[in-house]
């Protein structure tokens, strides 16, 4: 089951990242009057949904399936001195959970804004910051903890 969940999680990152970029770019759009619906709000919703599903698969890996996190949890002190284990045990999950909170805060702050300009600014700021956190939390190839950009299909 581990390879299947890891492959889904790895491929889903691209959908999540593309929706993060799309939602951020959408936040640049001119907002109508505050009494009208936000333009392209489906981008926000799809971004939040993709991130939620991504984190769900990540939590399955973190709390049960990943041999890396099992190793880290068996000796957390030693894991902190190993940059690769530390990334998976602390940094990756912290950044992705922060991204979930940030995207939700951005959406709520946008919905409670007093002006259309404030609504647009809040979405733009929080969605851009969320996207940056997601990019920072991805295990890019070439790093100590890096993974392939596109995992091979299960077979």
Q: Give pLDDT tens digits for 92-145.
A: 999 999 999 999 999 899 889 888 888 889 999 999 999 999 999 999 999 888
Q: Comparing C-alpha atoms, which of 51, 43, 45, 44 is closest to residue 17?
A: 51
Could you tell me if residue 151 is inside a domain?
no
Instruction: Please give the residue range of the domain that contains residue 56.
Output: 2-137
- Within 27-91, residue ranges assigned H as helices are 41-60, 67-74, 76-80, 83-86
Q: What are phi and psi of 2, to 5 degrees?
A: -55, -50
User: What's the number of domains the chain is made of?
Assistant: 1
Backbone angles phi, psi at 142, to 5 degrees: 95, -20
Residue 9 lies in a domain: yes
Q: Does residue 150 lie within any of the structural domains?
A: no
Environment class of 1 (CB within 10 Å of its CB; exposed 0-12, middle 13-18, buried 19+): exposed
Q: How far apart are CA 105 and CA 141, in angstroms?
A: 31
Q: What is the pLDDT of residue 98?
A: 97
Is 155 inside a domain boundary? no
Is 144 among the domain residues?
no
Which of the four pLDDT bands, split at 50, 70 and 90, describes residue 36?
low
Query: Do the domain assignments include residue 80?
Result: yes
Q: Is residue 145 assigned to a domain?
A: no
49 belongs to a structural domain: yes
pTM, entire model: 0.89
């Amino acid at each position: 089951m581990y390879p299947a969940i890891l492959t889904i999680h790895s491929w889903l990152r691209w959908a999540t990242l593309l929706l993060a970029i799309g939602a951020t770019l959408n936040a640049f759009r001119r907002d109508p009057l505050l009494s009208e619906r936000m333009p392209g709000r489906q981008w926000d919703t799809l971004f939040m949904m993709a991130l939620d599903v991504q984190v769900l698969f990540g939590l399955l890996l973190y709390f049960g399936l990943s041999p890396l996190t099992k190793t880290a949890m068996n000796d957390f002190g030693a894991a902190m001195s190993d940059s690769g284990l530390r990334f998976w045990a602390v940094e990756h999950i912290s950044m992705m959970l922060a991204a979930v909170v940030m995207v939700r805060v951005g959406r709520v702050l946008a919905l409670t804004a007093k002006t259309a300009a404030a609504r647009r600014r809040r979405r733009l700021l929080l969605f851009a910051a969320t996207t940056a956190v997601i990019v920072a939390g991805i295990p890019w190839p070439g790093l100590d903890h890096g993974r392939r950009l596109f995992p091979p299909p299960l077979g």
